[in-house]
Amino acid sequence: MRLAGREFTAMQDAGCYVNGTIACTSCHSMHAYEDTADQLSPGMRSSRACLQCHSKYEGRIAEHTHHGASSPGSDCLNCHMPHTSFGLLKSIRSHRIDSPSLAALDRPNACNLCHLDKSLDWTNDHLYNWYGIALTEMASETDTDDLAAAVGYLLSGDAVQRAVMANAFASEDARAASGDEWQIPLLVHLLDDPYSAVRFVAEKTIRSYDGFQDVDYDFLAPSTTRRAAADQIFLQWSNQQSSLDGINLRSVLLNADGTANSEQAKRLHEQRDRRPIELPE
């Protein structure tokens, strides 16, 4: 389910529903909610939502997640209900409740939604080493080189993948895992995306980065104006000192000297999946 508003359709595929008794009211409440946003029952914006039934993980979460117990990488929701559906001009949690996997690459996997600088191969290896999940054969050559998976979806994905990824680039958890000083030169390409929704999300994400709150850009302006604004934002990034320690520069389309490989980024955006996508909201 790639669209918001189809939560029940999605949940019907979950083991918790097929072999269990999960219901919307396991986590949401019509009246006794904690705050009006999402109408979640008290405590349900956390691993508690899952531990209420999967109590065998209680007290041994890190053993299962391979992240420190207090890491965002240990929150059940982040791996099993990642933000991969799109609606209301943002991405929302998938209600399918499944596990990170590379079996269906048209949906970004939970690991690469946080580890924005890592390749699919990296995820493949960890899923195998940590969980014994059989290695997935990567279909095309671009899937197996060291391009970060998130960068591939962001630039070359279809419209939903681009929007979902642009949304992920704003996530604090993802930036804790991946650093946040290399993303701007990639995001600027989406400021001239043919989909206004993608441009809207990219703009919002760029504004969430330090120093870029007040950039002069309007996602509804004509293309020439948008491109000029994108150039300006790119220039601002180029003129700042970025700390890129620990980042595999090639994977995120930076040159060895830390400058942006804009030609390759542009090429990937031009080669994007152009299948038309309409969201009836």
The answer to whether 163 contacts ligand HEC (rule: CB under 6 A) is no
Selected binder of ligand HEC within 1, 41, 92, 179 (CB under 6 A) = 92
Whether residue 91 contacts residue 163, with contact meaning beta carbons closer than 8 Å, is answered with: yes
Applying CB under 6 A, the span of 47-55, 139-147, 187-195, 261-269 interacting with ligand HEC comes to 47-55
The answer to whether 173 contacts ligand HEC (rule: CB under 6 A) is yes
Compute how many residues bind ligand HEC; rule: CB under 6 A. Answer: 60
- Which residue number, 78 or 161, has a Cβ lying nearer to ligand HEC? 78
Selected binder of ligand HEC within 68, 134, 218, 240 (CB under 6 A) = 68
The residues near 262 (Cβ < 8 Å, ≥ 6 apart) are: 185, 234
Closest among 29, 28, 26, 4 to 17, alpha carbons compared: 26
- Which residue number, 68 or 194, has a Cβ lying nearer to ligand HEC? 68
Query: What is the separation of C-alpha 32 from the centre of its chain, rounded to a whole number of angstroms?
Result: 30
Rounded to 10 degrees, what is the CA torsion of 28, 34, 36, 37? Answer: -70
User: Sign of dihedral through CA atoms 191, 192, 195, 196?
Assistant: positive
Closest among 123, 128, 199, 119 to 167, alpha carbons compared: 199
**Least distance in angstroms from the C-beta of 178 to ligand HEC:** 8
Selected binder of ligand HEC within 21, 213, 239, 241 (CB under 6 A) = 21
Selected binder of ligand HEC within 2, 96, 107, 115 (CB under 6 A) = 115
Burial of 132 (0-12, 13-18, 19+ CB in 10 A): exposed
Applying CB under 6 A, the span of 67-75, 134-142, 207-215, 229-237 interacting with ligand HEC comes to 67-75
Applying CB under 6 A, the span of 13-21, 202-210, 233-241, 247-255 interacting with ligand HEC comes to 13-21
